[in-house]
């Protein structure tokens, strides 16, 4: 079974009369996390369950919804089956507050409901191809090796060459039956790789085929080939035309923007800060309507996030295979476009305080432009120009205010990797990957520096 | 938030001198923490004080006075509620706030309940900073000021200072070397020449708005700046905010962060002497070598980054170095104090280059104006002699850490939380700042009492670092511009 990381997201409209009761239930569940035993889940890295209140977009009410979002690994069906098995009865009570769910659903029906209502998201994981068990084991491995080194150094040992030292460490690990798993295969299988990249591969395959077919068409007359080339290029041109139309439309809307977020009340900011004040990994949720100016903005948004998702996955053969983006502070993050493009939610599990985390991204010009692209549509975000210019680049205060305005309290959060940073998780993984790998002398030196 | 007035060059006549100078030639200083006991008399005292303050444009003539206020102090002086609310949230809440204490790591022995001053509920309103060339002059000035504010202000705490030989702090290391410079300030011609001959450097001057409110910061934007209603200022002391019906209360002011910490010199050197596994000719040399690995510089100030093997006093003032070729930390450990406080070109390198790191790090700089307090263990501050005297009886000594920032959250608090206090800084595992982080020992959630010294083939790990410093007081203050001070002094 593969360990591809993904977001499992449900965005379920709440029954209007159930909003308060659902909030009370989530408060109870957060206080007594054993009732939703994610700690026993083998497929859940993080879980966020919260209520997104009713919000206004133009003169339309976007309904109050239950946001159920896990950062999971492996096939989604396995994840859902596990959740229902571990916490089906509590989930049944929780989902009963939502439209379309019946309290008398069987386990199978509940699984079908969850799979059918899974909402698309644009998901990033800094832990791809890791399961919660991997994270835990890698940490145990590191602790065991560190202790071995400390003890041997205290005896005056481990003073040979890097290669000799590494061999001693390998021998130590091999001597420990509880670490026998380190000799099992760890690299993702081809199946896992395909499970992660198939969407990008489809796009890449189409573009590559079109280019090849266009060249072949110069020399070969064939009706089917002609149709493919003409049809393919028509699609490309139509896509580009759509991008131009949307770009111009958004640009006009940008000029009309009337509202920019102001400093939030201090007591609200303090409350939100207190909720993201854990020493290492924190979590936060943003949710709000998009800017009301621009009728095509919802279309652009859905298209943009589809493209961003492909970029996050990486384009096989073109750059880093595994993940297209590496964000040092982020364990997992996702954008969810809901209400037909009129509202966007964002959830992140990250290393840092929330305030430091959101500042981190605007401290370089490139970072601020990416923030404009991925948050510039939000109500209250400072005015952008041509989507990536202006905005957080020129008005960082308003950027911070807009995020504070859209940040919501999380009613229930589960995060098992509380006292290791995402950096630590990555280093621990490298220790495991390099332990028995075939390394050059220089690589052996670098591997020892991980410890 | 309305934009503050735009200025191209610093208005030195309206800025308190501490922003530009640390008064190094004024070797005697005392800081008075004051309570306002009579609002009206206090304002009258401030009216007189305006003319006695040292300004940024003037070199001090033997004496310098500076004044700053807490949020409570500004409220007590009558700053209207609406104007007060435009100050930064961090300043308004204060350093001793519960949520902030967690964030800053002011726990585990550093709790404000154990502070000497700055505790919650204390009527701390004004900070009067008095500098003088000699102690007798200082005593005279203090006596004169006390006479002037008698009946208006009451002294809650007197924070004495001392100047240690060689610009050192009590552990024996030279201090205050790495200091940001502000753009648009006229410099010594020889230094200007030196700079223009060099390539672009990470030590290039920062925009004034990083430290002084009312100017553009390193984002090329304006930091939040307090403002007042037009009718709050009938005396027309404050400048207008262009295009806005408001007055700028923050213009030419800055936030001042004050943290008083004691230093346990005996514990520091005893640990170095007992635990060092660093190379060295004798126990003292090995202790100094470990101290250098904790600090990131040798006692002379020479950085490990450029002088990893031994102290080179001729490099004592070197601040142009980078860590580009030392990402592992073989020369300067990744967790060393100066590397944490200022990671220069190696911050968050995973998805960014060295120049991006510098761009980020420049947004977290502070102008430091600290002073030591208490008697030195050895007057000459030579490390070998401090080593020899490490078992001498303990005395009350330490550092008044004082820094000036335009944004408390982005500058001081960010560095304190994410770089100083974090056990996971730069992929480290259980390492907090070896000098000033509050210790979280083994068994504690997010343990941070280790220090990793990278070496070939394997690191040396120092465990169970004792607490070498303890926070015993502090607060957030606003150091106003002169126009703002006149406004405050004339409030109804």
Helices A162-174, A422-435: crossing angle, 10 deg rounding: 90
Statement to judge: residues A169 and A77 lie in one domain: no
Q: In degrees rounded to 5, what are phi and psi of residue B111?
A: -60, 145
Is residue A233 domain-resident?
no
- pLDDT in the model for residue B350: 61
Categorise residue B151: left if φ over 0, alpha if ψ from -120 to 50, beta otherwise.
left
Same domain, A428 and A408: no
- Of the candidates B126, B131, B161, B129, the one whose C-alpha atom is nearest the C-alpha of residue B64 is B131
Asked if A153 reaches chain B (Cβ–Cβ under 8 Å), the answer is yes
A388 and A425 in a single domain? The answer is no
The position carrying tokens 């002379």 is: B300
Partner residues linked to A349 by β-bridges: A283, A332
Instruction: Work out the pLDDT band at A449, boundaries 50, 70, 90.
Output: very high
Helices (H), A220-265: 223-256
Q: Which of B1, B92, B418 sits opposite A356 (nearest CB)?
A: B418
The verdict on B444 touching A (C-beta cutoff 8 Å) is: no
- Spatial contact of B32 and B128, defined as CB atoms under 8 Å apart: yes
ipTM of the complex: 0.89
Best of A150, A161, A422, A449 to disrupt the B interface (most B CBs within 10 Å) is A449
What sign for the dihedral angle of Cα B117, B120, B123, B129? positive
B381: how many CB neighbours lie within 10 A of its CB? Answer: 21
Per-residue pLDDT of B452-467, as tens digits, reads 999 999 999 999 999 9
Interface contact B352-A364, CB threshold 8 A: yes
Q: What is the interface size between A and B, counted as CB pairs within 8 Å?
A: 116
3-state secondary structure at position A337:
strand
Residues A155, A160, A161, A163: what is their CA dihedral angle, to the nearest 10 degrees? Answer: -70
- Picking from B221, B352, B463, the nearest residue to A396 by CB comes out as B221
Distance from the Cα of residue A438 to its chain's centroid: 32
Q: Are A354 and A282 in contact (CB under 8 A)?
A: yes
Do A441 and A389 share a structural domain? no
The CA distances from residue B216 to B19, B196, B251, in Å, are 16, 23, 12
Residue B68 pairs with which residues in a beta bridge?
Answer: B127
Which residues are paired to A347 by β-bridges?
A285, A334
Q: Which of residues 108-147 of A touch B (CB under 8 A)?
A: 142, 146
Name the pairing type of β-strands B126-132 and B63-69.
antiparallel
Instruction: Determine whether the interchain pair A280/B424 forms a contact, defined as Cβ–Cβ distance below 8 Å.
Output: yes
- Cross-chain residue pair A353–B417, CB shorter than 8 Å: yes
* Contacts B219 to A, Cβ<8 Å: 362, 394, 396
- On whether both A118 and A266 belong to a single domain, the answer is yes
Nearest chain B Cα to A147, which residue?
B461
Beta-sheet pairing, B398-405 with B254-263 = antiparallel
Q: What tens digit of pLDDT does each residue of B44-103 get?
A: 999 999 999 999 999 998 999 999 999 999 999 999 999 999 999 999 999 999 899 988
Is A330 a residue whose pLDDT tops 60?
Answer: yes
**CB neighbours (10 Å) of residue B47?**
14
3-state helix, strand, coil in chain B (%, to 5): 30, 20, 50
E strand or H helix at B246? strand B246-248
Sorted by sequence, the CB contacts under 8 Å of residue A154 that are 6+ apart come out as none
The total number of structural domains that make up chain A: 2
Q: How confident is the model at residue A95 (pLDDT cuts 50, 70, 90)?
A: very high
Contact B350 A263 (CB under 8 A): no
Contact A326 B350 (CB under 8 A): yes
Q: Report which DSSP code applies to A128.
A: T
Structure tokens, A228: 């493919």
Q: Do A394 and B427 touch (CB under 8 A)?
A: no
A245, part of any domain: no
pLDDT for residue A197 = 80
CB pair distance less than 8 Å for A449 and B328: yes
Q: Is B445 in contact with A364 (Cβ distance < 8 A)?
A: no
Domain range for A153 is 133-183+421-448
CB-based contacts of B171, cutoff 8 Å, min separation 6: B263, B265, B268, B269, B291, B295, B386, B435, B468
Would you call A330 helix, strand, or coil by DSSP?
strand
Neighbouring-strand partners of residue B127: B33, B68
Alpha carbon distance B82, A263 (integer Å): 13
Which residue reads 């975000």 in tokens? A381
pLDDT, one tens digit per residue, over A333-356 is: 999 999 999 999 999 999 877 777
For residues B150 and B153, what is the distance between their CA atoms, to the nearest angstrom?
Answer: 6
* φ, ψ at A351 (rounded to 5°): -95, 120
Rounded CA gap, A441 and A162, in Å?
A: 7
A322: region left, alpha or beta (phi > 0 left; psi from -120 to 50 alpha): left
**Using CA atoms, how far apart are residues B270 and B275, in angstroms rounded to an integer?**
8
Structure tokens at B234: 């009938």
Q: Which of B93, B351, B426 sits opposite A270 (nearest CB)?
A: B93
pLDDT of residue A322: 43
Asked if A273 has any chain B CB less than 8 Å from its own CB, the reply is yes
Substitution target from B100, B350, B412, B441 for chain A, most A beta carbons within 10 A:
B350
B121 CB neighbour count, 10 Å cutoff: 6
Domain-embedded: residue A211? no
B contact residues 453-472, partner A, Cβ 8 Å cutoff: 454, 456-461, 463
92-121 of B, contacting A, C-beta below 8 A: 92-93, 97, 99, 102-103
Does the CB of A370 have a partner CB in chain B at under 8 Å?
A: no
Round to whole Å and give the CA distance between B259 and B118: 9
- Residue A279 with chain B: CB contacts under 8 Å: 422-423, 445-446
Round to whole Å and give the CA distance between B240 and B236.
9
Instruction: Please name the residues between 375 and 414 in chain A that touch chain B, using a CB distance below 8 Å.
Output: 394-397
- Determine contact: B359 vs chain A, CB below 8 A: yes
Output the six-digit token pair for A436: 């028995």
Long-range pairs, A213-216, Cβ under 8 A, ≥24: none
Instruction: Assess whether A69 and A137 both reside in one domain.
Output: no
Q: Which two tokens stand for residue B88?
A: 């930064």
Radius of gyration of chain A (CA): 25
The answer to whether the Cβ–Cβ distance between B423 and A280 falls below 8 Å is yes
Q: From the CB of residue A387, how many other CB atoms can be counted at a distance below 10 Å?
A: 19
Find out whether B297 and B303 touch, Cβ atoms under 8 Å: yes
Average pLDDT, chain A: 91
Residues A383 and A261 both lie in one domain: yes
Both tokens of residue A421?
A: 């940073």
Identify the pLDDT of residue B444.
82
Chain B interface test: which of A274, A314, A363 (most B C-beta within 10 Å): A363
Q: Is A183 on the interface with B (CB under 8 A)?
A: no
pLDDT below 70 — which residues of chain B? 1-8, 186-200, 349-352
Token pair of B155 as six digits? 């002294």
> CB-based contact (8 Å) between B81 and chain A?
no
- Could you tell me if A81 and A168 lie in one domain? no
Q: What's residue A165's pLDDT?
A: 96
Q: Cα separation of B420 and B341, whole Å?
A: 6
Q: Is A326 in the B-facing interface, judged by CB distances under 8 Å?
A: yes
Question: Does residue A206 sit within a domain?
Answer: no
Residue A351 touches partner B, C-beta closer than 8 Å: yes
**Would you state the structure tokens that stand for residue B274, as one six-digit string?**
């007992």
Give the pLDDT confidence of A124-173 residue by residue, as tens digits. 998 888 999 999 999 999 999 999 999 999 999 998 999 999 999 999 99
**Helix B265-275 × helix B283-295 angle, to 10°:** 110
- Determine the pLDDT at residue A251: 92
**Residue carrying the six token digits 């379920």:** A12
Cα dihedral across residues A210, A216, A218, A220: positive or negative: negative
Tell me the shortest Cα–Cα distance from A91 to chain B, in angstroms. 31
Backbone angles phi, psi at A77, to 5 degrees: -65, -40
Locate tokens 């139309």: which residue?
Answer: A245
Q: Is residue A433 part of a domain?
A: yes
Q: How far apart are CA A406 and CA B125, in angstroms?
A: 35
Is A228 contained in some domain? no
Average pLDDT over residues A58-62: 94
Q: What residues of A are in contact with residue B414 (Cβ under 8 Å)?
A: 355-356, 359
Name the helix (H) or strand (E) containing B463. none
> Is A214 an 8 Å CB contact of chain B?
no
Inspect the interface and report whether the beta carbons of A448 and B348 lie closer than 8 Å. no
Do A166 and A311 lie in one domain? The reply is no
A108 burial via Cβ count (<10 Å: 0-12, 13-18, 19+): exposed
Instruction: Annotate A73-93 with DSSP letters as a single string.
Output: ES-HHHHHHHHHHHHHHHHHH
Nearest to B446 among A262, A279, A359 (CB): A279
Residue in chain B closest to A451 (alpha carbons) equals B459
Backbone angles phi, psi at A17, to 5 degrees: -80, -5
Token pair belonging to A296: 């095509």
B57 touches chain A (CB under 8 A): no
- Does some domain include residue A313? yes
- Both A62 and A152 in one domain: the answer is no
C-alpha separations of A325 from A123, A138, A310, B358 in Å: 11, 23, 11, 21
């Amino acid at each position: 079974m593969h360990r591809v990381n993904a977001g499992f997201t449900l965005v379920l409209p709440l029954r209007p009369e159930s909003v308060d009761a659902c909030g009370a239930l989530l408060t109870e569940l957060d206080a007594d996390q054993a009732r939703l035993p994610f700690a026993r889940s083998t497929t859940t890295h993080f879980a966020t369950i919260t209520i997104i209140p009713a919000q206004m977009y133009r003169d339309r009410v976007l309904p109050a919804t239950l946001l159920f979002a896990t950062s999971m690994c492996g096939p989604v069906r396995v994840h859902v089956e596990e959740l229902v098995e571990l916490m089906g009865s509590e989930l049944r009570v929780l989902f009963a507050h939502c439209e379309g769910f019946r309290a008398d659903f069987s386990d199978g029906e509940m699984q079908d409901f969850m799979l059918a209502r899974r909402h698309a998201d644009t998901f990033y994981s800094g832990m791809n191809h890791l399961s919660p068990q991997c994270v835990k084991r890698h940490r145990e491995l590191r602790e065991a090796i560190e202790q071995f080194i400390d003890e041997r150094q205290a005896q005056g040992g481990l003073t040979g060459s890097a290669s000799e030292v590494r061999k001693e460490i390998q021998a130590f690990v091999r001597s420990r039956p509880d670490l026998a798993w380190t000799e099992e295969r760890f690299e993702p299988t081809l199946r896992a790789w395909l499970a992660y990249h198939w969407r990008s591969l489809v796009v890449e395959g189409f573009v590559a085929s079109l280019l090849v077919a266009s060249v072949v068409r110069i020399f070969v007359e064939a009706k089917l080939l002609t149709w493919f080339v003409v049809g393919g290029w028509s699609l490309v041109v139509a896509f580009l035309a759509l991008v131009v139309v949307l770009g111009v439309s958004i640009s006009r809307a940008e000029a009309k923007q009337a509202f920019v977020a102001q400093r939030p009340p201090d007591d609200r900011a303090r409350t939100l800060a207190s909720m993201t004040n854990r020493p290492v990994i924190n979590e936060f949720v943003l949710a709000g309507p998009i800017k009301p100016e621009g009728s095509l903005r919802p279309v652009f948004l859905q298209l943009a996030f589809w493209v961003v998702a492909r970029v996050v996955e990486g384009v096989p053969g073109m750059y880093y295979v595994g993940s297209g983006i590496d964000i040092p502070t982020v364990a997992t993050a996702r954008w969810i476009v809901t209400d037909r493009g009129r509202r966007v939610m964002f959830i992140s599990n990250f290393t840092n305080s929330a305030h430091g985390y959101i500042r981190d991204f605007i401290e370089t010009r490139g970072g601020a432009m990416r923030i404009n692209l991925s948050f510039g549509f939000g109500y209250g975000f400072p005015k952008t120009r041509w989507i990536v210019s202006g905005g957080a680049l020129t008005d960082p205060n308003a950027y911070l205010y807009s995020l504070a305005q859209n940040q919501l309290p999380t009613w229930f959060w589960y995060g098992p990797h509380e006292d290791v940073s995402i950096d630590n998780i990555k280093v621990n993984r490298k220790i495991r990957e390099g332990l028995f790998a075939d390394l050059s002398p220089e690589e052996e030196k670098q591997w020892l520096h991980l410890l | 938030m309305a934009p503050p007035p735009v200025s191209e060059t610093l208005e030195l006549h309206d800025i308190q001198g501490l922003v530009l100078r640390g008064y190094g030639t004024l070797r005697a200083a005392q800081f008075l923490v004051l309570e306002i006991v009579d609002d009206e008399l206090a304002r009258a005292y401030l009216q007189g004080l305006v003319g006695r303050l040292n300004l940024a444009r003037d070199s001090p003539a033997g004496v310098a006075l500076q004044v700053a206020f807490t949020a409570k102090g500004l409220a007590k002086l009558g700053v209207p509620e609406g104007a007060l609310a435009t100050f930064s949230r961090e300043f308004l809440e204060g350093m001793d706030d519960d949520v902030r204490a967690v964030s800053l790591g002011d726990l585990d022995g550093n709790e404000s309940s154990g502070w000497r001053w700055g505790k919650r509920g204390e009527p701390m309103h004004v900070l009067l900073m008095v500098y003088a060339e000699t102690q007798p002059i200082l005593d005279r000035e203090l006596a004169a000021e006390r006479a002037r504010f008698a009946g208006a202000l009451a002294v809650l705490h007197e924070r004495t200072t001392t100047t240690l030989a060689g610009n050192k702090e009590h552990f024996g290391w030279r201090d205050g070397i790495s200091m940001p410079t502000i753009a648009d300030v006229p410099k010594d011609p020889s230094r200007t020449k030196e700079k223009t001959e060099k390539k672009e450097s990470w030590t290039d001057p920062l925009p004034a708005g990083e430290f002084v409110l009312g100017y553009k910061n390193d984002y090329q934007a304006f930091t939040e700046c307090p403002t007042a209603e037009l009718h709050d200022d009938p005396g027309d002391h404050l400048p207008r905010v262009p295009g806005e019906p408001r007055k700028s209360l923050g213009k030419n002011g800055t936030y001042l962060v004050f943290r008083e910490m004691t230093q346990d010199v005996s514990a520091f050197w005893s640990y170095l002497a007992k635990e060092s596994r660093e190379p060295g000719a004798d126990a003292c040399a090995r202790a100094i070598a470990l101290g250098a690995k904790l600090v990131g510089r040798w006692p002379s100030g020479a950085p490990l980054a450029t002088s990893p093997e031994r102290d080179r006093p001729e490099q004592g003032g070197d601040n142009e170095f980078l860590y580009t070729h030392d990402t592992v930390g073989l020369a300067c450990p990744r967790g060393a104090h100066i590397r944490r406080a200022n990671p220069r070109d190696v911050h968050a390198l995973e998805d960014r280059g060295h120049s991006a790191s510098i761009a980020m790090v420049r947004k977290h700089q502070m102008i430091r104006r600290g002073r030591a307090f208490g008697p030195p263990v050895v007057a000459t501050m030579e490390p070998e002699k401090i080593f020899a005297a490490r078992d001498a009886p303990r005395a009350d000594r330490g550092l008044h850490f004082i820094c000036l920032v335009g944004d408390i959250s982005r500058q001081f608090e960010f560095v304190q939380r994410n770089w100083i206090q974090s056990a996971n800084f730069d992929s480290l595992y259980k390492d907090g700042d070896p000098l000033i982080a509050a210790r979280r020992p083994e068994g504690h959630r997010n343990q941070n009492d280790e220090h990793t010294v990278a070496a070939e083939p394997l690191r040396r790990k120092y465990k169970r670092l004792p607490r070498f410093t303890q926070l015993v007081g502090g607060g957030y203050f606003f150091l106003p511009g002169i126009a703002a001070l006149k406004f405050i002094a004339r409030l109804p």
